[in-house]
């Protein structure tokens, strides 16, 4: 009896163990499927782009010169878009998380979720018809930044809301019970507690907009020259890559690969830099 029992048990144990292993391997295979293309892209960009990079490439202009205007343009776009999009996005997230118990908030939340996945070409056309044609009458870095803000705002708003909701309610209560006003509680107690999540969200958004091509194609158009004013066309790295990739000369192709590598490096540096700079004194300390 004992033997039989053990045998049966062992059989189902082996089956369970097999199922366990099977599931684990299935997950692992999917991870590999997901990560191999990413790594190969990175590898390809580094191998083909790295030879192109030198000081002249980074600062010069033109096909024989370098991608200076594109780097400058991307920096300007990131700065302008951040200046427009981050405050609006963060405050929208604050509204949704801290005041969002009414029915309007759930509407805003749904609309925001739709906007997060909105086709960027449509954002580009909207900014084109409203600002480029309607307001300014020409291509403009501001039109580009507004278009990119449409993409940045929903991402920042959503991640802000989610990271604020992770802040324990007891922290809010502690502050309110001291007779600290609600707005002050949010700014001085809740937002600092959610800082890590906030910064991650902003970085995700900035990385996303740095690589967007469609909205800026229709708003800043691309240029071979450095920044010439807020009512002139401007270059940016995704545009440079897009335009050069359509030219069939070796020089243009190499420059496009180099620009791709620079774009990746900018996003990466921004990521690491902001993370280091914002690592607060009490980073990762969790309330008991």
Partner 1 sequence: MDNIKIQSVNLNAWFGTKQALKDINLSIKANAITAIIGPSGCGKSTFIRTLNRMHELTPTAKMSGQILLDSQNIYDPIVDPVMIRRRVGMVFQKPNPFPTMSIYDNVAAGLKLTGARKDKNLDEVVKYSLQQATLWDEVKDDLKKPGTSISGGQQQRLCIARAIALQPEVILMDEPTSALDPIASAKIERLVVELKKNYTVAIVTHNMQQASRVSDYTAFMYLGNLIEFGSTKDIFESPKNQLTERYITGEFG
| In contact, 210 and 266? CB cutoff 8 Å | yes
Q: Per DSSP, what are the bridge partners of residue 234?
A: 221
Cβ-Cβ contacts under 8 Å for 232 (sequence gap 6 or more): 138, 139, 140, 141, 223
* Binding flags for partner 1, 153-182, as an x/- string (CB under 8 A): ---------------x-xx-xxxxxxxxx-
| In contact, 161 and 244? CB cutoff 8 Å | no
Is 285 near partner 1 (CB under 8 A)? yes
Identity of the residue, 185 or 255, whose beta carbon is nearer to partner 1 in the bound complex: 185
The interface with partner 1 within residues 195-234 (CB under 8 A) comprises 195
Is 280 near partner 1 (CB under 8 A)? yes
Q: How far is the CB of 179 from partner 1 (least distance, A)?
A: 3
Identity of the residue, 145 or 186, whose beta carbon is nearer to partner 1 in the bound complex: 186
Tokens of 74: 């991307």
For partner 1, which stretch binds (CB under 8 A), given 17-25, 211-219, 254-262, 280-288?
280-288
Identity of the residue, 170 or 250, whose beta carbon is nearer to partner 1 in the bound complex: 170
Is 105 near partner 1 (CB under 8 A)? no
Q: Where are the alpha helices (DSSP H) in the chain?
A: 2-49, 55-59, 68-98, 103-116, 120-127, 141-165, 169-177, 182-185, 191-193, 195-211, 214-217, 237-245, 250-277
Interface ranges with partner 1 (CB under 8 A):
101, 168, 170-171, 173-181, 184-185, 188-189, 192-193, 195, 280-282, 285-288
């Amino acid at each position: 009896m004992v033997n039989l029992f053990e045998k049966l048990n062992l059989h189902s144990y082996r089956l369970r163990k097999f199922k366990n292993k099977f599931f684990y391997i299935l997950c692992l295979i999917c991870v590999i499927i997901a990560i191999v293309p990413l790594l190969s892209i990175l590898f390809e960009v580094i191998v083909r782009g790295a030879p192109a990079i030198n000081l002249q490439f980074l600062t010069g202009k033109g096909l024989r010169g370098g991608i200076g205007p594109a780097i400058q343009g991307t920096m300007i776009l990131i700065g302008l878009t951040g200046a427009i999009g981050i405050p609006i996005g963060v405050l929208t997230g604050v509204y949704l998380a801290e005041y969002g118990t009414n029915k309007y908030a759930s509407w805003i939340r749904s609309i925001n979720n739709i906007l997060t996945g909105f086709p960027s070409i449509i954002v580009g056309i909207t900014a084109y018809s409203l600002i480029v044609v309607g307001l300014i009458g020409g291509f403009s870095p501001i039109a580009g930044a507004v278009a990119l803000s449409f993409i940045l705002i929903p991402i920042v708003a959503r991640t802000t809301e989610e990271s604020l909701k992770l802040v324990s309610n007891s922290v809010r209560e502690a502050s309110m019970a001291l007779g600290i006003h609600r707005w002050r509680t949010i700014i001085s107690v809740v937002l600092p507690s959610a800082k890590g999540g906030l910064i991650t969200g902003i970085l995700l958004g900035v990385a996303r907009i740095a690589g967007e091509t469609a909205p800026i194609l229709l708003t800043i158009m691309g240029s071979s020259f450095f920044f010439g004013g807020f009512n002139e066309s401007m270059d940016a790295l995704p545009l440079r890559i897009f335009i050069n990739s359509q030219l069939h000369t070796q020089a243009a192709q190499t420059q496009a690969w180099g620009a791709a590598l620079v774009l990746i490096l900018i996003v990466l540096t921004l990521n690491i830099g902001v993370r280091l700079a914002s690592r607060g004194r009490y980073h990762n300390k969790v309330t008991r």
